[in-house]
Amino acid sequence: METVMQEKQPVLQISHLNKTLGNRQILKDVNLETYSGEVFGFLGPNGAGKTTTIKIAVGLLSLDEGDISIAGYDLRRNFEQALEKTGGIVENPEFYPYLSGYENLRIYARVHENVTEERIKEVLELVGLSLRAKEKVGRYSLGMRQRLGVAQAILHRPRLLVLDEPTNGLDPAGTKALRDILKRLAHEEGLSIVVSSHLMSEMEMMCDRVGIIVEGEIRKIQPIEEMISAAKSGYEIYVFHVSDAAKAAALLGDLPAGTVAVADADHLEVQIPGAEQEATLAKINKTILQGDVNLYTVSRKEDRKLEDVFIEMTNGQGGGQIG
């Protein structure tokens, strides 16, 4: 298997997508592009509009306004060609439980032109089910069924694979297996993969780029590496163990050291911006000591998590607003 170079042409291109359901505008001017060779994470709290966007992209829901193209085919004007380049799992994939994984794929293969026996074997290999292909699907674990769903979705060699919350309900081992398969399909087979989730921690492990959607609007699209380094360089919280926290806080009042908070009589918490952190720490230490307060220890509170950054970015929204 050779590494596929990332092409410049987007595989999925969504431009100015608007969607109203009932009398509510669910999607507001959504723009995004995904490319061959990458896993794109579509991240947002419950009710943000992930499933709606995905349903439109895979042709299950009409688009009101805007344009979508897949592998260069316009979804409105060239619906069939666009969908021929798309594979997806939106709801849980359905299979005949009394047939084997292999037999299920053979039946499904008839929907498409030119899916050969070799291709069926190839996709079973790609999702790590070759050895279990002859077992009845009724005996498959949820993780195996999800992988068979991926096999089914890529049978016809689509350029784009779209999965709505594919790891829902999977245990850590099942999640990792699926994650590794998706990465391989993107990085080695050159698919453009879109995966939705409401968990930043999951996106962090699986995705090359992440787009954050909140209340139907794209807030940010960024490579995951940049998101992580931005999270780290934001600020850190340091805890100062001192003899008199109130007095130390008063001394630090004039320093441009970020927010100072007294935790208890002898602990002070200071939020220090990422830039020039050492210089600021040195200045704080000196000020405390010169002000005649004893300084016993300085320690850094645990790292800010990417999850916190996501929650800040979405203002802690989501969860409740269904309907």
Ligand X SMILES: Nc1ncnc2c1ncn2[C@@H]1O[C@H](COP(=O)(O)OP(=O)(O)OP(=O)(O)O)[C@@H](O)[C@H]1O
**CB of residue 168 to ligand X, shortest distance in Å:** 9
**CB of residue 47 to Mg ion, shortest distance in Å:** 8
Are 73 and 12 within 8 A, CB to CB?
A: no
Q: Which of 217, 221, 162, 225 is nearest to 193 (CA)?
A: 162
Give the residue, chosen from 37, 41, 47, 211, that forms a contact with ligand X under the rule CB under 6 A.
47
**CB of residue 75 to ligand X, shortest distance in Å:** 18
Give the residue, chosen from 34, 51, 100, 167, that forms a contact with Mg ion under the rule CB under 5 A.
51
Rule CB under 5 A: say whether 53 interacts with Mg ion. no
The nearer residue to ligand X, 27 or 151, going by C-beta atoms, is: 27
**CB of residue 125 to ligand X, shortest distance in Å:** 31
Q: Which of 256, 50, 66 is nearest to 164 (CA)?
A: 50
Q: Which amino acid is at 300?
A: R
Binding pattern to ligand X, positions 1-40, x when CB under 6 A?
--------------------xx-x-x--------------
Distances (CA, A) of 80 to 47, 59, 112, 126, 283: 29, 9, 12, 26, 66
Tell me the three state secondary structure of residue 197.
Answer: strand
**Binding to Mg ion in span 87-106, by CB under 5 A:** none
> Residue 152 and residue 198: Cα distance in Å, rounded?
25
> Residue 174 and residue 171: Cα distance in Å, rounded?
5
Size of the site for ligand X (CB under 6 A): 16
Tokens coding 205: 């492990």
**CB of residue 62 to ligand X, shortest distance in Å:** 12
The nearer residue to Mg ion, 127 or 163, going by C-beta atoms, is: 163
> Residue 87 and residue 226: Cα distance in Å, rounded?
29
